[in-house]
Amino acid sequence: MKATHVTDINAADARDYMRRLGQAARESAVVVAEAATADKNAALEAVAQCLRDDEARIIEANAEDLTAGKRAKLSDALLDRLALDAGRIAAMAEGCRQVAALPDPVGEVSGMAYRPSGIQVGRMRVPLGVIGIIYESRPNVTVDAAALCLKAGNAVLLRGGSEAIHSNRAIAESLRAGLQQAQLPAAAAQLVETTDRAAVGEMLRMRECIDVIVPRGGKSLIERVSRDAMVPVIRHLDGVCHVYVDDDADLGKAMRVAFNAKARRYGICGAMETLLVAESVARRLLPQLSRQYIERGIELRGCDKSRAIVPRMKPATEDDWYAEYLDAILAVRVVDGLQQAIAHINTFGSRHTDSIVTENLASARRFLRRVDSSSVMVNASTQFADGFEYGLGAEIGISTDKLHARGPVGLEGLTCQKYIVVGDGHVRP
Amino acid sequence: MKATHVTDINAADARDYMRRLGQAARESAVVVAEAATADKNAALEAVAQCLRDDEARIIEANAEDLTAGKRAKLSDALLDRLALDAGRIAAMAEGCRQVAALPDPVGEVSGMAYRPSGIQVGRMRVPLGVIGIIYESRPNVTVDAAALCLKAGNAVLLRGGSEAIHSNRAIAESLRAGLQQAQLPAAAAQLVETTDRAAVGEMLRMRECIDVIVPRGGKSLIERVSRDAMVPVIRHLDGVCHVYVDDDADLGKAMRVAFNAKARRYGICGAMETLLVAESVARRLLPQLSRQYIERGIELRGCDKSRAIVPRMKPATEDDWYAEYLDAILAVRVVDGLQQAIAHINTFGSRHTDSIVTENLASARRFLRRVDSSSVMVNASTQFADGFEYGLGAEIGISTDKLHARGPVGLEGLTCQKYIVVGDGHVRP
């Protein structure tokens, strides 16, 4: 099956085109919402098989994107994200199978209890409807996001980056084929096949057709979506994550956690960007820990007190407290103690993930309650902030918003709960 | 304590004024979020006592609103909603005490479990931050909404209708006094003291200061808020509720449920607006049930098939299927059976509350799963859709949205959950 591709369209056409996609998504959402668990799983298995069968075709399409990308002088990092090979395609297929293996959240009933009136009241987990995903270069998002949305009983509209358009079209054909093999509507997972930016604007306004938008990508994308969206958004802003080493920290644990939180991987949103150290332990901790960071090639930017202990640190400015480096740079600040640490995190942080290292129960308790972040940790590396590590399975993103979903958003975050009431002819007095 | 009142201000002043209120709310939200349960309860008890002590002052202020309302030729229904007397003030105070008696949702930890890595992961319920309430004439909302927001650990900005401004100011003084007696910041519950409409526009845009807006009032208010809000909104649109009497209904139960769902009270959002009857039982049910409705003075508007059975019905048009009468009018439609009933509800309904009357388990199961409403019921009157009946205690409204909160929104809907992670020096491999 060969799809018709829409490449160059004007704004009015974009509007019509998007409305058609949206309408088809809305209609197919009803079918997916009611689909049996076994049918959804069969579809995901079929998609996985189609991806493997279509490997050559997908790699060929990907080559077109890579050629265009080189011509457009994309950075090596970007080209690497864009590139697909047999291994990466197998990983996408495996991801589909893993989502198929997750428990189906749809229809789960909880809290069913008798009320004094005699009615039973509880909640049932149900799909959100149509999810719009707006993302950048990585073509694997096309499969990952579609699999999660479908398993949660939703239809999905996928809008990938223009630099990956050929790869995404090829992958979308495998999605369609898999859905059709399993007798689910192909419109349950549609790719926006135009690279026209007007299409994104249209998606952000399609309240009748889209229930929630999940943007995945860099800051400018998230900001545009936040500014223009009339559809509700589940958003991930920055990950300015902290580790605070408390007065009562075990310094061995502090060394391990603080080093891992920064050095394991720099480029993920759960990576620590600022280390906060209680003044009472700074002289014992910082010299040795700094040596480890510096040996690893990490640049340290410290406050005056930190630099008095480790003079090799560069001076930090207020901008450093706000910075999400995603790189081999770490800001370091010596604080009076717990209260100043919490104030620092709630002022300069991004409500993503923050950890305290302490043996003191009262400090741990206070930190857990008062730090206003989507994940708050005790004696654990911030790099644990991840759907798999939390037992959610794959995630569609990590929300730094407060409404609906906070932290890693997996299948549950792509559903909502309605109330169900069961009586036996009960009427309200 | 006499507050300074802001009555006539221009748009630029409104902006400054609202930003000041918002900033004060944001600061006090931190204090309320961390307040101990006992302190929040003491504040609510103190507010209740202040309301009783201030009864004469509140009634005097209310008289000003009533005089102005009569001069402005408000309807009798509106004047009745506006009027306060000793009984209504006592009811507001009692409402405060009832909220104080509810369990504190803040800090509740759930799902704490060990992961293969050795970390424990769970969720902690935490306040949303600052809630903005925009409401119309009833002055009791000032107290009810403030009590719920405070108990859930939030600060609240209250924007009542201009016709109740004197009453609301008097009530706000009691709120302030109660909060101060309990050593909580008075800015945790602030009334917008200007009636300038620019203040509402400002509220809807104050993303840094307000975390969520809850509009309470008529359709035009909700529509304006939905259109203009840049702050997330928890919304209640229409309550176009249905009862569907299935082929396998017990007709005795059907009579009771269908009559109660319409006739108990017309003006509440959970009142049934359209009765759907399976063709196989219509001839046995409709004549007697219609007689009951007509005796109660309810006007019936039926489809052709209904009118063939009960000729006294007026003919219904498609507009009737969409109508939220909130009055002694009922639309009646005979449908083929379950499937058409579900399609009717999902097409014409407002996703509020819908009920099936049936003895058939398969039909009940299908209805519960497929009807896409915030409350879906079996053999129970739609008038049960209410926070108290569901065991949530008081409610701030009934959400017909899907994200975050669906159905009656009580204390839990005014909170969110963050992840908490506890380890013992764990690092991610």
Residues of chain A by 3-state class (helix, strand, coil), percent to 5: 45, 20, 30
Residue A11 binned pLDDT confidence (cut-offs 50, 70, 90): low
Instruction: Name the DSSP class of B311.
Output: T
CA dist A160 and A140 (Å) reads 10
The token duo for A301 is: 């930017």
As separate numbers, helices (DSSP H) first and strands (DSSP E) second, chain A gives 15, 16
pLDDT tens digits, one per residue of A125-148: 999 999 999 998 789 999 999 999
CA dist B268 and B87 (Å) reads 22
Chain B nearest C-alpha distance from A61 (Å)? 35
- Percent of chain A beyond pLDDT 90? 85
Residue A223 binned pLDDT confidence (cut-offs 50, 70, 90): confident
**Shortest CA distance from A125: residue in chain B:** B369
Mutant choice from A237, A402, A412, A417 vs B, greatest count of B C-beta within 10 A:
A402
For the segment A388-413, the average pLDDT, to the nearest whole number, is 90
For the segment B343-365, the average pLDDT, to the nearest whole number, is 97
pLDDT tens digits, one per residue of A69-92: 999 999 998 899 999 999 999 999
Of the candidates A346, A422, A427, the beta carbon closest to that of B257 is on: A427
CA dist B29 and B238 (Å) reads 31
Contacts of B260 in chain A (CB under 8 A): 427-428
Q: Within 10 A of A46 (CB to CB), how many other CB atoms are there? A: 22
Instruction: Quickly list H helices, A152-245.
Output: 165-181, 197-205, 219-228
Interchain proximity A419–B428, CB inside 8 Å? no
Contacts of A107 in chain B (CB under 8 A): 369
Residue B173 binned pLDDT confidence (cut-offs 50, 70, 90): very high
Of the candidates B128, B402, B419, the beta carbon closest to that of A129 is on: B402
Interchain proximity A417–B403, CB inside 8 Å? no
More confident residue, A34 or A236: A34
For the segment A162-172, the average pLDDT, to the nearest whole number, is 96
Chain A nearest C-alpha distance from B18 (Å)? 21
Chain B nearest C-alpha distance from A100 (Å)? 21
Of the candidates A346, A374, A425, the beta carbon closest to that of B256 is on: A425
pLDDT exceeds cutoff 80 at B12: no
pTM to 2 decimal places: 0.91
pLDDT of res. A4: 46
Please name which of B416, B7, B6, B21 lies closest in space to residue B185, comparing C-alpha atoms: B21
pLDDT of res. A109: 97
Residue A353 binned pLDDT confidence (cut-offs 50, 70, 90): very high
Contacts of B212 in chain A (CB under 8 A): 402-403
Contacts of A129 in chain B (CB under 8 A): 372, 402
- Percent of chain B beyond pLDDT 90? 85
pLDDT of res. A235: 85
pLDDT of res. A9: 61
pLDDT tens digits, one per residue of A354-363: 999 999 999 9
Specify the length of chain B in residues.
Answer: 429
Chain B nearest C-alpha distance from A403 (Å)? 6
Chain A nearest C-alpha distance from B332 (Å)? 20
Angstrom distances, CA of residue B73 to CA of A9, A318, B319: 56, 58, 31
Of the candidates A30, A390, A418, the beta carbon closest to that of B375 is on: A418
Interchain proximity B420–A375, CB inside 8 Å? yes
Contacts of A205 in chain B (CB under 8 A): none
**Shortest CA distance from A364: residue in chain B:** B422
The token duo for B101 is: 């008696």
Please name which of B397, B408, B352 lies closest in space to residue B225, comparing C-alpha atoms: B397
Instruction: Name the DSSP class of B315.
Output: E
For the segment B58-72, the average pLDDT, to the nearest whole number, is 97
Interchain proximity A427–B383, CB inside 8 Å? yes
The token duo for B366 is: 């299908």
Interchain proximity A375–B406, CB inside 8 Å? no
Interchain proximity A107–B369, CB inside 8 Å? yes
For the segment B67-75, the average pLDDT, to the nearest whole number, is 95
Contacts of A401 in chain B (CB under 8 A): 232
Average pLDDT, chain B: 94
> How many pairs of residues across A and B have Cβ atoms under 8 Å apart?
221
Please name which of A335, A328, A373 lies closest in space to residue A355, comparing C-alpha atoms: A373
Of the candidates B33, B232, B423, the beta carbon closest to that of A379 is on: B423
pLDDT exceeds cutoff 70 at B324: yes
Contacts of A402 in chain B (CB under 8 A): 128-129, 211-212, 416
pLDDT tens digits, one per residue of B19-29: 999 999 999 99
Residue A14 binned pLDDT confidence (cut-offs 50, 70, 90): confident
Mutant choice from A26, A128, A358, A421 vs B, greatest count of B C-beta within 10 A:
A421
Of the candidates A256, A377, A421, the beta carbon closest to that of B377 is on: A421
Residue B325 binned pLDDT confidence (cut-offs 50, 70, 90): very high
Contacts of B214 in chain A (CB under 8 A): none
Interchain proximity B384–A421, CB inside 8 Å? yes
Chain A nearest C-alpha distance from B297 (Å)? 20
pLDDT tens digits, one per residue of B197-214: 889 999 999 999 999 999
Residue A13 binned pLDDT confidence (cut-offs 50, 70, 90): confident
Interchain proximity B375–A426, CB inside 8 Å? no
Contacts of B381 in chain A (CB under 8 A): 423, 426-428
Contacts of A374 in chain B (CB under 8 A): 418-419
Of the candidates A119, A357, A368, the beta carbon closest to that of B420 is on: A368
pLDDT tens digits, one per residue of B102-154: 999 999 999 999 999 999 999 999 999 999 999 987 899 999 999 999 999 99
CA dist B216 and A386 (Å) reads 38
User: Ramachandran region of residue A24, left (φ > 0), alpha (ψ -120 to 50) or beta?
Assistant: alpha
Contacts of B423 in chain A (CB under 8 A): 377-381, 384
Of the candidates B30, B346, B427, the beta carbon closest to that of A260 is on: B427
CA dist A217 and B330 (Å) reads 50
CA dist A39 and B376 (Å) reads 25
**Shortest CA distance from A375: residue in chain B:** B419
Interchain proximity B377–A424, CB inside 8 Å? no
pLDDT exceeds cutoff 90 at B274: yes
Contacts of A378 in chain B (CB under 8 A): 420-423
pLDDT of res. A10: 67
CA dist A148 and A301 (Å) reads 40
Chain B nearest C-alpha distance from A248 (Å)? 13
Interchain proximity B375–A421, CB inside 8 Å? yes
Q: Within 10 A of A372 (CB to CB), how many other CB atoms are there? A: 20
pLDDT of res. B3: 42
pLDDT exceeds cutoff 90 at A338: yes
For the segment B164-183, the average pLDDT, to the nearest whole number, is 97
Evaluate whether A306 touches A333 at the Cβ level (below 8 Å). Answer: yes
Contacts of B390 in chain A (CB under 8 A): 115, 121, 419, 421
Angstrom distances, CA of residue A250 to CA of A230, A357, B189: 48, 7, 42
For the segment B311-340, the average pLDDT, to the nearest whole number, is 97
pLDDT exceeds cutoff 80 at B2: no
Residue A230 binned pLDDT confidence (cut-offs 50, 70, 90): confident
Interchain proximity A418–B212, CB inside 8 Å? no
pLDDT exceeds cutoff 90 at B181: yes
**Shortest CA distance from A378: residue in chain B:** B422
Average pLDDT, chain A: 94
Interchain proximity B379–A426, CB inside 8 Å? yes
Of the candidates A128, A373, A428, the beta carbon closest to that of B260 is on: A428
Evaluate whether A249 touches A281 at the Cβ level (below 8 Å). Answer: yes
The answer to whether the complex's ipTM is over 0.85 is: yes
